[in-house]
Chain A
Amino acid sequence: MAAPLLPFLHLDSLWLQVTGSRCNIACRHCFISCGPKVDRHAMMTRAQVQVAISDAERLGCRAYYYTGGEPFLHPEILDLIDDGLASGPLHILTNGMLITREIAAELAHRSAAADYSLDLRVSLDGLSAAANDPIRGEGVFEATTTGIRRLVEAGIEPSLALTLVDPAGASPEGRTAMLGFLRALGVERPRLKLIPPFRIGREAARSGRYGPEARLAAEDLDDEAPWQLGCGTSRMVTANGVYTCPILIDYPSARLGDGLAKALVPIPLAYRACFTCWEEGFSCRS
Protein backbone atom coordinates (compact mmCIF):
# COMPACT_ATOMS: atom_id res chain seq x y z
CA MET A 1 0.00 0.00 0.00
CA ALA A 2 1.57 3.27 -1.11
CA ALA A 3 1.74 6.04 1.44
CA PRO A 4 -0.50 9.04 0.70
CA LEU A 5 1.23 12.07 -0.74
CA LEU A 6 0.58 15.29 1.15
CA PRO A 7 0.59 18.45 -1.00
CA PHE A 8 2.76 21.33 0.14
CA LEU A 9 0.69 24.52 0.26
CA HIS A 10 2.99 27.31 1.37
CA LEU A 11 5.78 27.92 3.84
CA ASP A 12 3.71 29.33 6.70
CA SER A 13 6.17 28.24 9.38
CA LEU A 14 9.90 27.67 9.40
CA TRP A 15 11.30 25.54 12.20
CA LEU A 16 14.97 25.86 13.07
CA GLN A 17 16.77 23.31 15.19
CA VAL A 18 19.13 25.95 16.50
CA THR A 19 20.94 23.78 19.04
CA GLY A 20 20.74 20.56 17.08
CA SER A 21 20.23 17.54 19.32
CA ARG A 22 22.10 19.14 22.22
CA CYS A 23 19.94 19.51 25.33
CA ASN A 24 20.70 20.01 29.01
CA ILE A 25 18.36 17.14 29.92
CA ALA A 26 17.48 13.77 28.39
CA CYS A 27 13.73 13.25 28.62
CA ARG A 28 12.57 9.65 28.51
CA HIS A 29 9.93 10.48 25.88
CA CYS A 30 12.12 12.57 23.57
CA PHE A 31 11.27 11.49 20.02
CA ILE A 32 14.60 12.69 18.69
CA SER A 33 16.61 11.45 21.70
CA CYS A 34 18.28 14.75 22.55
CA GLY A 35 20.62 15.08 25.52
CA PRO A 36 23.70 16.72 27.03
CA LYS A 37 26.17 14.66 25.02
CA VAL A 38 24.13 14.11 21.88
CA ASP A 39 25.74 15.73 18.83
CA ARG A 40 23.98 13.77 16.14
CA HIS A 41 22.65 17.05 14.80
CA ALA A 42 25.11 19.90 15.22
CA MET A 43 24.29 23.30 16.63
CA MET A 44 23.40 25.77 13.87
CA THR A 45 25.69 28.74 13.41
CA ARG A 46 24.18 32.20 13.41
CA ALA A 47 25.05 32.47 9.72
CA GLN A 48 23.11 29.28 8.98
CA VAL A 49 20.11 30.60 10.87
CA GLN A 50 20.27 33.93 9.06
CA VAL A 51 20.42 32.26 5.65
CA ALA A 52 17.45 30.05 6.46
CA ILE A 53 15.38 32.99 7.71
CA SER A 54 16.33 35.11 4.74
CA ASP A 55 15.34 32.32 2.33
CA ALA A 56 12.06 31.80 4.17
CA GLU A 57 11.30 35.50 4.18
CA ARG A 58 11.65 35.61 0.41
CA LEU A 59 9.14 32.76 0.25
CA GLY A 60 6.60 34.73 2.30
CA CYS A 61 7.00 32.84 5.57
CA ARG A 62 4.56 33.76 8.36
CA ALA A 63 6.29 32.49 11.53
CA TYR A 64 9.53 31.10 12.94
CA TYR A 65 10.07 28.44 15.58
CA TYR A 66 13.34 27.85 17.45
CA THR A 67 13.79 24.44 18.93
CA GLY A 68 16.48 21.87 19.66
CA GLY A 69 17.56 20.38 21.93
CA GLU A 70 17.37 23.31 24.26
CA PRO A 71 17.59 26.63 22.39
CA PHE A 72 18.96 28.56 25.37
CA LEU A 73 22.13 26.45 25.21
CA HIS A 74 23.03 28.37 22.07
CA PRO A 75 25.78 30.89 22.90
CA GLU A 76 24.24 33.45 20.53
CA ILE A 77 20.60 32.84 21.36
CA LEU A 78 19.78 36.51 21.98
CA ASP A 79 21.23 37.46 18.59
CA LEU A 80 19.26 34.64 16.98
CA ILE A 81 16.11 35.99 18.62
CA ASP A 82 16.84 39.41 17.14
CA ASP A 83 17.26 37.79 13.73
CA GLY A 84 13.97 35.94 13.99
CA LEU A 85 11.92 38.80 15.35
CA ALA A 86 13.18 41.11 12.60
CA SER A 87 11.40 38.91 10.08
CA GLY A 88 8.24 37.74 11.81
CA PRO A 89 6.63 36.27 14.90
CA LEU A 90 8.98 33.99 16.81
CA HIS A 91 8.18 30.98 18.98
CA ILE A 92 10.81 29.42 21.22
CA LEU A 93 10.36 25.89 22.57
CA THR A 94 12.30 25.53 25.80
CA ASN A 95 12.42 23.65 29.06
CA GLY A 96 12.88 26.99 30.82
CA MET A 97 15.68 25.72 33.02
CA LEU A 98 18.27 28.16 31.68
CA ILE A 99 16.08 31.26 32.02
CA THR A 100 17.98 33.48 34.40
CA ARG A 101 16.61 36.82 35.56
CA GLU A 102 18.96 38.49 33.09
CA ILE A 103 17.76 36.35 30.19
CA ALA A 104 14.13 36.97 31.15
CA ALA A 105 14.76 40.72 31.15
CA GLU A 106 16.42 40.52 27.73
CA LEU A 107 13.46 38.58 26.38
CA ALA A 108 10.98 41.06 27.80
CA HIS A 109 12.89 43.93 26.25
CA ARG A 110 12.92 42.24 22.84
CA SER A 111 9.27 41.30 23.10
CA ALA A 112 8.28 44.90 23.78
CA ALA A 113 10.49 46.37 21.07
CA ALA A 114 9.66 44.03 18.20
CA ASP A 115 6.98 44.50 15.57
CA TYR A 116 6.03 40.86 15.95
CA SER A 117 4.97 38.50 18.70
CA LEU A 118 7.52 36.59 20.81
CA ASP A 119 6.18 33.37 22.29
CA LEU A 120 7.86 31.15 24.87
CA ARG A 121 6.56 27.60 25.03
CA VAL A 122 7.87 25.91 28.18
CA SER A 123 7.78 22.12 28.43
CA LEU A 124 6.82 20.21 31.54
CA ASP A 125 5.30 16.76 31.82
CA GLY A 126 3.67 16.78 35.22
CA LEU A 127 2.33 19.26 37.72
CA SER A 128 4.62 18.07 40.50
CA ALA A 129 8.18 16.86 40.81
CA ALA A 130 6.81 13.40 41.50
CA ALA A 131 4.93 13.38 38.20
CA ASN A 132 7.43 15.28 36.07
CA ASP A 133 10.91 14.29 37.12
CA PRO A 134 10.70 10.55 36.39
CA ILE A 135 10.19 11.60 32.75
CA ARG A 136 12.39 14.69 32.48
CA GLY A 137 15.03 14.11 35.16
CA GLU A 138 15.65 14.83 38.80
CA GLY A 139 15.37 18.48 39.74
CA VAL A 140 13.85 19.50 36.42
CA PHE A 141 10.45 20.42 37.87
CA GLU A 142 12.01 22.88 40.29
CA ALA A 143 14.28 24.41 37.65
CA THR A 144 11.51 24.74 35.07
CA THR A 145 9.01 26.29 37.43
CA THR A 146 11.71 28.72 38.56
CA GLY A 147 12.21 29.64 34.90
CA ILE A 148 8.49 30.22 34.43
CA ARG A 149 8.38 32.46 37.51
CA ARG A 150 11.30 34.51 36.20
CA LEU A 151 9.58 34.99 32.86
CA VAL A 152 6.40 36.10 34.58
CA GLU A 153 8.32 38.51 36.82
CA ALA A 154 9.84 40.03 33.68
CA GLY A 155 6.41 40.45 32.09
CA ILE A 156 6.38 37.43 29.78
CA GLU A 157 3.60 34.87 30.03
CA PRO A 158 4.80 31.56 28.58
CA SER A 159 2.51 28.81 27.40
CA LEU A 160 2.86 25.33 28.85
CA ALA A 161 3.67 22.38 26.57
CA LEU A 162 2.83 19.07 28.12
CA THR A 163 3.36 15.70 26.51
CA LEU A 164 0.45 13.43 27.34
CA VAL A 165 2.42 10.59 28.89
CA ASP A 166 -0.77 10.27 30.94
CA PRO A 167 -3.72 10.55 28.49
CA ALA A 168 -5.94 11.75 31.35
CA GLY A 169 -4.13 15.06 31.09
CA ALA A 170 -6.26 15.99 28.08
CA SER A 171 -9.53 15.60 30.03
CA PRO A 172 -11.42 18.73 31.12
CA GLU A 173 -10.27 18.06 34.68
CA GLY A 174 -6.69 17.64 33.50
CA ARG A 175 -6.82 20.92 31.57
CA THR A 176 -8.35 22.73 34.52
CA ALA A 177 -5.56 21.46 36.74
CA MET A 178 -2.91 22.66 34.30
CA LEU A 179 -4.48 26.09 34.00
CA GLY A 180 -4.67 26.37 37.78
CA PHE A 181 -1.06 25.30 38.03
CA LEU A 182 0.03 28.08 35.68
CA ARG A 183 -2.07 30.64 37.50
CA ALA A 184 -0.40 29.63 40.75
CA LEU A 185 2.94 30.38 39.10
CA GLY A 186 1.68 33.88 38.30
CA VAL A 187 0.59 33.35 34.69
CA GLU A 188 -2.61 35.39 34.45
CA ARG A 189 -3.53 34.24 30.95
CA PRO A 190 -2.57 30.56 30.95
CA ARG A 191 -2.29 28.72 27.62
CA LEU A 192 -1.65 25.06 26.91
CA LYS A 193 -0.11 23.02 24.14
CA LEU A 194 -0.84 19.32 24.59
CA ILE A 195 1.42 16.94 22.68
CA PRO A 196 0.70 13.27 22.02
CA PRO A 197 3.66 10.93 22.59
CA PHE A 198 5.46 9.87 19.41
CA ARG A 199 6.65 6.31 19.78
CA ILE A 200 10.01 6.85 18.12
CA GLY A 201 13.38 7.86 19.51
CA ARG A 202 13.66 7.43 23.28
CA GLU A 203 9.87 7.21 23.64
CA ALA A 204 9.89 3.89 21.74
CA ALA A 205 11.94 2.39 24.56
CA ARG A 206 9.61 3.86 27.21
CA SER A 207 6.19 2.95 25.80
CA GLY A 208 6.92 0.55 22.96
CA ARG A 209 7.17 0.91 19.21
CA TYR A 210 4.27 1.53 16.85
CA GLY A 211 2.34 -1.49 15.72
CA PRO A 212 1.57 -2.37 12.11
CA GLU A 213 -1.77 -0.55 12.30
CA ALA A 214 0.01 2.80 12.48
CA ARG A 215 -0.11 3.47 8.76
CA LEU A 216 -1.98 6.09 6.81
CA ALA A 217 -3.76 5.39 3.53
CA ALA A 218 -4.91 7.93 0.98
CA GLU A 219 -8.55 7.39 1.94
CA ASP A 220 -7.74 8.38 5.55
CA LEU A 221 -7.06 11.96 4.52
CA ASP A 222 -9.37 14.75 3.43
CA ASP A 223 -8.98 18.13 1.75
CA GLU A 224 -8.15 19.75 5.08
CA ALA A 225 -5.16 17.50 5.70
CA PRO A 226 -2.49 19.79 4.21
CA TRP A 227 -3.84 22.67 6.32
CA GLN A 228 -4.12 20.60 9.46
CA LEU A 229 -0.85 18.70 9.36
CA GLY A 230 2.20 20.79 10.06
CA CYS A 231 4.09 19.35 7.10
CA GLY A 232 1.57 20.85 4.65
CA THR A 233 2.71 24.37 5.54
CA SER A 234 6.08 24.12 7.30
CA ARG A 235 9.59 22.77 7.05
CA MET A 236 12.37 22.04 9.52
CA VAL A 237 15.89 23.38 8.98
CA THR A 238 18.83 21.81 10.81
CA ALA A 239 22.59 22.06 10.42
CA ASN A 240 22.27 18.85 8.41
CA GLY A 241 19.77 20.16 5.91
CA VAL A 242 16.00 20.57 5.50
CA TYR A 243 13.53 17.97 6.77
CA THR A 244 9.82 17.49 6.37
CA CYS A 245 9.05 18.20 10.01
CA PRO A 246 10.64 18.52 13.48
CA ILE A 247 9.71 14.97 14.40
CA LEU A 248 11.42 13.17 11.52
CA ILE A 249 14.94 14.57 11.57
CA ASP A 250 16.47 11.17 12.31
CA TYR A 251 15.03 9.63 9.13
CA PRO A 252 17.42 10.11 6.22
CA SER A 253 14.54 9.67 3.79
CA ALA A 254 12.79 12.67 5.36
CA ARG A 255 15.71 14.91 4.42
CA LEU A 256 14.62 17.10 1.49
CA GLY A 257 17.92 18.71 0.58
CA ASP A 258 20.41 21.34 1.64
CA GLY A 259 18.16 24.35 1.30
CA LEU A 260 14.52 25.39 1.27
CA ALA A 261 14.25 25.95 -2.47
CA LYS A 262 13.90 22.26 -3.28
CA ALA A 263 12.13 21.28 -0.06
CA LEU A 264 8.71 22.77 -0.75
CA VAL A 265 7.37 19.63 -2.39
CA PRO A 266 4.66 17.05 -1.67
CA ILE A 267 5.82 14.44 0.82
CA PRO A 268 4.75 10.84 1.43
CA LEU A 269 3.14 10.29 4.85
CA ALA A 270 5.04 7.06 5.10
CA TYR A 271 6.21 7.31 8.71
CA ARG A 272 4.60 5.86 11.81
CA ALA A 273 4.73 9.27 13.47
CA CYS A 274 2.52 10.66 10.66
CA PHE A 275 -0.21 8.39 11.98
CA THR A 276 -0.06 10.07 15.39
CA CYS A 277 -0.29 13.58 13.94
CA TRP A 278 -3.33 12.68 11.85
CA GLU A 279 -5.12 10.53 14.40
CA GLU A 280 -4.61 13.02 17.21
CA GLY A 281 -5.29 16.08 15.08
CA PHE A 282 -1.90 17.35 16.15
CA SER A 283 0.21 20.12 14.67
CA CYS A 284 3.49 21.40 16.09
CA ARG A 285 2.56 25.04 15.48
CA SER A 286 1.17 27.22 18.24
Chain B
Amino acid sequence: MPELSAAEFWVGPRVTLALFGGVYNNYLALDVLLRDTYRRGAAGVYFLGDVGGFGPHPARSVERLRESAVRCMAGNYDVSVGNALADCGCGYTDPRDNHYAQISYDYTLDGTTEEHRRWLAALPTRITMMVGKHRVLLVHGSPRRINEFLWESTTPAAYIHHLCELYQVDLIVNTHTGIAFERRLADGRGLINVGAIGRPANNGRLTVEYVLLHLEDGQLHSERVALEYDHARLAAEMEGEGLPPEFVATIRTGWWTTCLEILPTRERRQGRF
Protein backbone atom coordinates (compact mmCIF):
# COMPACT_ATOMS: atom_id res chain seq x y z
CA MET B 1 0.00 0.00 0.00
CA PRO B 2 1.41 3.44 -0.86
CA GLU B 3 2.40 5.56 2.11
CA LEU B 4 -0.26 8.00 3.22
CA SER B 5 0.15 11.36 4.89
CA ALA B 6 -0.86 12.02 8.47
CA ALA B 7 -4.55 11.53 9.01
CA GLU B 8 -7.04 14.11 10.26
CA PHE B 9 -10.00 13.02 12.32
CA TRP B 10 -13.57 14.27 12.19
CA VAL B 11 -15.94 12.71 14.69
CA GLY B 12 -19.39 13.39 16.02
CA PRO B 13 -22.97 12.53 15.29
CA ARG B 14 -23.09 15.28 12.66
CA VAL B 15 -20.21 16.87 10.81
CA THR B 16 -20.23 18.92 7.61
CA LEU B 17 -17.08 19.47 5.57
CA ALA B 18 -16.73 21.67 2.50
CA LEU B 19 -14.57 20.53 -0.42
CA PHE B 20 -13.72 22.62 -3.44
CA GLY B 21 -11.23 22.75 -6.28
CA GLY B 22 -10.01 24.84 -9.20
CA VAL B 23 -10.09 28.48 -8.10
CA TYR B 24 -8.44 29.46 -11.41
CA ASN B 25 -7.84 33.01 -10.09
CA ASN B 26 -11.58 33.52 -9.56
CA TYR B 27 -11.18 35.36 -6.26
CA LEU B 28 -14.75 36.67 -6.46
CA ALA B 29 -16.18 33.14 -6.40
CA LEU B 30 -13.70 32.28 -3.64
CA ASP B 31 -15.05 35.13 -1.50
CA VAL B 32 -18.59 33.84 -1.97
CA LEU B 33 -17.51 30.30 -1.16
CA LEU B 34 -15.82 31.33 2.08
CA ARG B 35 -18.98 33.10 3.23
CA ASP B 36 -21.23 30.25 2.08
CA THR B 37 -19.30 27.49 3.84
CA TYR B 38 -19.34 29.54 7.06
CA ARG B 39 -23.07 30.14 6.74
CA ARG B 40 -23.69 26.43 6.20
CA GLY B 41 -21.69 25.51 9.28
CA ALA B 42 -18.85 23.62 7.64
CA ALA B 43 -16.51 22.42 10.37
CA GLY B 44 -13.65 22.13 7.93
CA VAL B 45 -12.99 23.55 4.48
CA TYR B 46 -10.63 21.78 2.07
CA PHE B 47 -9.21 23.11 -1.18
CA LEU B 48 -8.05 20.43 -3.62
CA GLY B 49 -5.73 22.55 -5.70
CA ASP B 50 -5.20 24.79 -8.74
CA VAL B 51 -5.28 28.33 -7.41
CA GLY B 52 -4.21 29.89 -10.70
CA GLY B 53 -5.08 29.88 -14.36
CA PHE B 54 -7.82 31.36 -16.53
CA GLY B 55 -8.93 34.35 -14.45
CA PRO B 56 -7.43 37.71 -13.42
CA HIS B 57 -5.11 38.96 -10.67
CA PRO B 58 -3.42 35.75 -9.43
CA ALA B 59 -2.24 37.28 -6.15
CA ARG B 60 -5.75 37.97 -4.92
CA SER B 61 -6.74 34.30 -4.69
CA VAL B 62 -3.47 33.26 -3.06
CA GLU B 63 -3.79 36.01 -0.47
CA ARG B 64 -7.34 35.01 0.40
CA LEU B 65 -6.44 31.35 0.79
CA ARG B 66 -3.39 32.14 2.94
CA GLU B 67 -5.44 34.34 5.24
CA SER B 68 -8.30 31.84 5.53
CA ALA B 69 -8.67 28.72 7.64
CA VAL B 70 -8.95 26.63 4.50
CA ARG B 71 -6.80 23.50 4.45
CA CYS B 72 -5.07 23.79 1.08
CA MET B 73 -3.55 21.21 -1.24
CA ALA B 74 -1.51 21.66 -4.39
CA GLY B 75 -2.83 20.92 -7.83
CA ASN B 76 -0.64 20.53 -10.89
CA TYR B 77 -0.95 24.28 -11.50
CA ASP B 78 0.37 25.07 -8.03
CA VAL B 79 3.27 22.67 -8.41
CA SER B 80 4.16 24.30 -11.72
CA VAL B 81 3.78 27.91 -10.56
CA GLY B 82 5.41 27.15 -7.23
CA ASN B 83 8.47 25.77 -8.96
CA ALA B 84 8.34 28.19 -11.92
CA LEU B 85 8.10 25.29 -14.39
CA ALA B 86 7.68 25.87 -18.12
CA ASP B 87 4.01 24.94 -18.33
CA CYS B 88 0.98 24.16 -16.22
CA GLY B 89 1.36 20.40 -16.38
CA CYS B 90 -2.38 20.04 -16.92
CA GLY B 91 -1.86 16.97 -19.08
CA TYR B 92 -3.34 18.25 -22.32
CA THR B 93 -2.30 16.45 -25.50
CA ASP B 94 -3.78 18.55 -28.30
CA PRO B 95 -2.01 21.68 -29.62
CA ARG B 96 -5.25 23.63 -29.46
CA ASP B 97 -5.59 22.93 -25.73
CA ASN B 98 -1.93 23.66 -25.05
CA HIS B 99 -2.08 27.00 -26.90
CA TYR B 100 -4.65 28.51 -24.54
CA ALA B 101 -3.26 26.72 -21.50
CA GLN B 102 0.10 28.40 -22.08
CA ILE B 103 -1.42 31.88 -22.33
CA SER B 104 -3.18 31.34 -19.06
CA TYR B 105 -0.12 29.85 -17.38
CA ASP B 106 2.30 32.57 -18.47
CA TYR B 107 -0.11 35.22 -17.19
CA THR B 108 -0.48 33.50 -13.82
CA LEU B 109 3.24 32.86 -13.39
CA ASP B 110 4.06 36.48 -14.21
CA GLY B 111 1.55 37.66 -11.63
CA THR B 112 2.73 35.42 -8.79
CA THR B 113 5.28 36.76 -6.34
CA GLU B 114 8.21 34.73 -5.11
CA GLU B 115 6.68 34.57 -1.65
CA HIS B 116 3.44 33.21 -3.09
CA ARG B 117 5.38 30.70 -5.17
CA ARG B 118 7.10 29.41 -2.05
CA TRP B 119 3.72 29.00 -0.37
CA LEU B 120 2.32 27.12 -3.36
CA ALA B 121 5.35 24.88 -3.63
CA ALA B 122 5.04 23.86 0.01
CA LEU B 123 1.41 22.69 -0.20
CA PRO B 124 0.74 18.97 0.30
CA THR B 125 -0.42 16.98 -2.70
CA ARG B 126 -2.70 14.65 -0.76
CA ILE B 127 -4.57 14.60 2.52
CA THR B 128 -5.96 11.55 4.24
CA MET B 129 -8.60 11.94 6.88
CA MET B 130 -11.02 9.91 8.91
CA VAL B 131 -14.60 11.16 8.78
CA GLY B 132 -16.41 9.05 11.32
CA LYS B 133 -15.42 5.50 10.41
CA HIS B 134 -14.73 6.41 6.78
CA ARG B 135 -11.20 6.78 5.45
CA VAL B 136 -11.23 9.62 2.93
CA LEU B 137 -8.41 10.49 0.54
CA LEU B 138 -8.22 13.97 -0.97
CA VAL B 139 -6.21 14.35 -4.17
CA HIS B 140 -6.13 16.79 -7.06
CA GLY B 141 -6.28 14.50 -10.11
CA SER B 142 -6.16 10.94 -8.92
CA PRO B 143 -4.31 9.10 -6.16
CA ARG B 144 -1.65 8.05 -8.64
CA ARG B 145 -1.19 11.16 -10.80
CA ILE B 146 -1.75 14.79 -9.87
CA ASN B 147 -2.91 15.55 -13.42
CA GLU B 148 -4.96 12.46 -14.19
CA PHE B 149 -8.38 13.38 -15.55
CA LEU B 150 -11.24 11.45 -13.96
CA TRP B 151 -14.36 12.27 -15.96
CA GLU B 152 -17.74 10.72 -15.26
CA SER B 153 -18.02 8.96 -18.62
CA THR B 154 -14.50 7.49 -18.56
CA THR B 155 -14.07 6.49 -14.93
CA PRO B 156 -15.67 3.08 -14.56
CA ALA B 157 -16.64 1.49 -11.29
CA ALA B 158 -13.91 -1.14 -11.74
CA TYR B 159 -11.22 1.52 -11.75
CA ILE B 160 -12.61 3.26 -8.67
CA HIS B 161 -12.72 -0.11 -6.92
CA HIS B 162 -9.09 -0.66 -7.86
CA LEU B 163 -8.04 2.73 -6.46
CA CYS B 164 -9.98 2.25 -3.23
CA GLU B 165 -8.33 -1.14 -2.75
CA LEU B 166 -4.84 0.05 -3.67
CA TYR B 167 -4.93 3.07 -1.37
CA GLN B 168 -7.07 1.40 1.30
CA VAL B 169 -9.69 4.14 1.42
CA ASP B 170 -13.47 4.31 1.41
CA LEU B 171 -13.84 7.55 -0.48
CA ILE B 172 -11.63 9.42 -2.93
CA VAL B 173 -12.34 13.12 -3.45
CA ASN B 174 -10.75 14.92 -6.40
CA THR B 175 -11.09 17.81 -8.85
CA HIS B 176 -8.86 18.68 -11.88
CA THR B 177 -11.46 18.21 -14.62
CA GLY B 178 -13.71 21.11 -13.62
CA ILE B 179 -16.87 19.02 -13.89
CA ALA B 180 -18.35 17.44 -10.78
CA PHE B 181 -19.71 13.92 -10.49
CA GLU B 182 -20.05 11.13 -7.98
CA ARG B 183 -19.84 7.39 -8.50
CA ARG B 184 -20.50 4.98 -5.66
CA LEU B 185 -19.76 1.27 -5.65
CA ALA B 186 -22.27 -1.27 -4.43
CA ASP B 187 -20.39 -1.51 -1.12
CA GLY B 188 -20.66 2.25 -0.49
CA ARG B 189 -17.11 3.16 -1.39
CA GLY B 190 -16.62 5.58 -4.25
CA LEU B 191 -15.29 8.76 -5.78
CA ILE B 192 -16.52 12.34 -5.68
CA ASN B 193 -15.18 14.90 -8.12
CA VAL B 194 -15.99 18.29 -6.60
CA GLY B 195 -15.74 20.25 -9.85
CA ALA B 196 -14.29 23.77 -9.77
CA ILE B 197 -15.26 27.19 -8.51
CA GLY B 198 -13.11 28.99 -11.07
CA ARG B 199 -15.34 28.65 -14.07
CA PRO B 200 -18.76 27.16 -14.89
CA ALA B 201 -18.98 23.44 -15.60
CA ASN B 202 -19.60 23.75 -19.37
CA ASN B 203 -23.33 23.58 -18.74
CA GLY B 204 -24.56 26.99 -19.86
CA ARG B 205 -25.01 28.18 -16.28
CA LEU B 206 -23.16 31.09 -14.76
CA THR B 207 -22.80 29.48 -11.34
CA VAL B 208 -19.84 27.42 -10.11
CA GLU B 209 -19.88 24.38 -7.84
CA TYR B 210 -18.44 22.86 -4.70
CA VAL B 211 -19.40 19.92 -2.50
CA LEU B 212 -20.49 19.52 1.10
CA LEU B 213 -19.74 16.20 2.72
CA HIS B 214 -22.13 15.36 5.55
CA LEU B 215 -21.50 12.77 8.22
CA GLU B 216 -24.86 11.87 9.70
CA ASP B 217 -25.57 8.87 11.88
CA GLY B 218 -22.33 7.30 10.78
CA GLN B 219 -23.08 7.63 7.08
CA LEU B 220 -21.41 9.90 4.55
CA HIS B 221 -23.40 11.66 1.89
CA SER B 222 -22.62 14.55 -0.37
CA GLU B 223 -24.44 17.68 -1.47
CA ARG B 224 -23.48 19.72 -4.52
CA VAL B 225 -23.75 23.45 -4.01
CA ALA B 226 -24.09 25.99 -6.82
CA LEU B 227 -22.58 29.41 -6.09
CA GLU B 228 -23.61 32.66 -7.69
CA TYR B 229 -20.92 35.29 -7.82
CA ASP B 230 -20.31 38.57 -9.67
CA HIS B 231 -19.41 36.99 -12.99
CA ALA B 232 -19.93 40.27 -14.86
CA ARG B 233 -17.25 41.91 -12.74
CA LEU B 234 -14.89 38.99 -13.22
CA ALA B 235 -15.39 39.10 -16.99
CA ALA B 236 -14.74 42.85 -17.06
CA GLU B 237 -11.57 42.43 -15.02
CA MET B 238 -10.39 39.65 -17.35
CA GLU B 239 -10.88 41.99 -20.28
CA GLY B 240 -9.00 44.68 -18.43
CA GLU B 241 -6.08 42.31 -17.97
CA GLY B 242 -6.02 41.48 -21.66
CA LEU B 243 -6.94 37.84 -21.18
CA PRO B 244 -8.29 36.05 -24.27
CA PRO B 245 -11.88 36.86 -25.22
CA GLU B 246 -12.49 33.10 -25.39
CA PHE B 247 -11.91 32.88 -21.62
CA VAL B 248 -14.19 35.84 -20.98
CA ALA B 249 -16.93 34.26 -23.09
CA THR B 250 -16.91 31.19 -20.86
CA ILE B 251 -17.52 33.32 -17.78
CA ARG B 252 -20.34 35.19 -19.53
CA THR B 253 -22.07 32.18 -21.10
CA GLY B 254 -21.24 29.13 -18.99
CA TRP B 255 -19.87 27.25 -22.01
CA TRP B 256 -16.24 26.23 -22.36
CA THR B 257 -14.54 27.61 -25.44
CA THR B 258 -10.97 26.39 -24.87
CA CYS B 259 -9.17 23.30 -23.62
CA LEU B 260 -11.97 21.23 -25.11
CA GLU B 261 -9.98 18.51 -26.81
CA ILE B 262 -9.24 16.72 -23.56
CA LEU B 263 -12.97 16.20 -22.96
CA PRO B 264 -14.32 12.69 -23.54
CA THR B 265 -16.98 12.34 -26.19
CA ARG B 266 -19.89 12.41 -23.78
CA GLU B 267 -18.75 15.48 -21.83
CA ARG B 268 -17.82 17.26 -25.06
CA ARG B 269 -21.25 16.67 -26.51
CA GLN B 270 -22.88 18.18 -23.43
CA GLY B 271 -21.19 21.50 -24.15
CA ARG B 272 -21.89 23.99 -26.90
CA PHE B 273 -18.47 23.81 -28.60
Residues of A at under 8 Å CB distance from B?
10, 56-63, 87-89, 111, 115-119, 157, 172, 175, 189, 191-192, 227
Contact = CB atoms under 8 A, between A and B. Distances in A.
21 contacts: A57-B156, A57-B158, A59-B158, A60-B159, A60-B161, A62-B155, A63-B154, A88-B154, A89-B153, A89-B154, A115-B153, A117-B151, A117-B264, A117-B265, A157-B265, A157-B269, A172-B95, A175-B95, A189-B260, A189-B268, A189-B269
Interface in B42-100: 94-95
Contacts of B268: 157, 189
A227 B266 CA distance: 24
B166 to A, nearest CB: 8
A118 B163 CA distance: 23
A200 B145 CA distance: 34
B162 interface: yes
Interface in B137-169: 144-145, 151, 153-156, 158-159, 161-163, 165
Given A57-B156, A89-B154, A189-B269, 11 more contacts: A60-B161, A62-B155, A87-B158, A88-B156, A89-B153, A89-B156, A115-B153, A116-B156, A117-B153, A117-B266, A119-B265
Contacts of B144: 10
B95 A89 contact: no
Contacts of B153: 89, 115-117
B159 A189 contact: no
**Which of A63, A117, A227 counts the most B-chain CB atoms under 10 A from its CB?**
A117
Given A189-B260, A189-B273, A61 B158 contact: yes
Contact of A88 (B159, B163, B266, B267): B159
Nearest to A170: B95
Contacts of A56: 158
Interface string B114-155: 000000000000000000000000000000110000010111
B152 to A, nearest CB: 8
Nearest to A91: B265
A242 B40 CA distance: 54
B162 A59 contact: yes
Contacts of B246: none
Given A157-B269, A175-B95, A189-B273, A117 B261 contact: no
Contacts of B265: 111, 117-119, 157
A175 B151 CA distance: 26
Q: How large is the interface on B (under 10, 10 to 19, 20 to 34, 35 or more residues)?
A: 20 to 34
B154 A117 contact: yes
A175 B95 CA distance: 10
B269 A60 contact: no
A56 B157 CA distance: 12
A57 B265 CA distance: 21
Interface in B168-194: none
A62 B273 contact: no
**Which of A60, A88, A111, A157 counts the most B-chain CB atoms under 10 A from its CB?**
A60
Q: Which 3 A-B pairs have the closest CB atoms?
A: A60-B162, A88-B156, A117-B153
A61 B159 contact: yes
Contacts of B163: 60
Nearest to B267: A117
A59 B94 CA distance: 29
**Which of B151, B153, B265, B269 counts the most A-chain CB atoms under 10 A from its CB?**
B265
A59 B165 CA distance: 11
A191 B260 CA distance: 10
A82 to B, nearest CB: 15
Nearest to A61: B158
Contacts of A58: 158
Contacts of A172: 95
Contacts of A10: 144, 162
Contacts of B156: 57, 61-63, 87-89, 115-116
Interface in B254-273: 260-261, 264-269, 273
Nearest to B163: A60
B177 to A, nearest CB: 13
B159 to A, nearest CB: 5
Contact of A62 (B145, B154, B165, B260): B154
Contacts of A119: 264-265
A59 B267 CA distance: 26
Nearest to B154: A89
Nearest to A192: B94
Given A57-B158, A116-B156, A191 B261 contact: yes
A172 B95 CA distance: 9
B158 A89 contact: no
A57 B160 CA distance: 11
Contacts of B159: 60-62, 88
Contacts of A117: 151, 153-154, 264-267
A56 B161 CA distance: 13
Contacts of B94: 192
B179 to A, nearest CB: 13
Contacts of A175: 95
Nearest to A120: B265
Given A118-B265, A175-B95, A60 B158 contact: yes
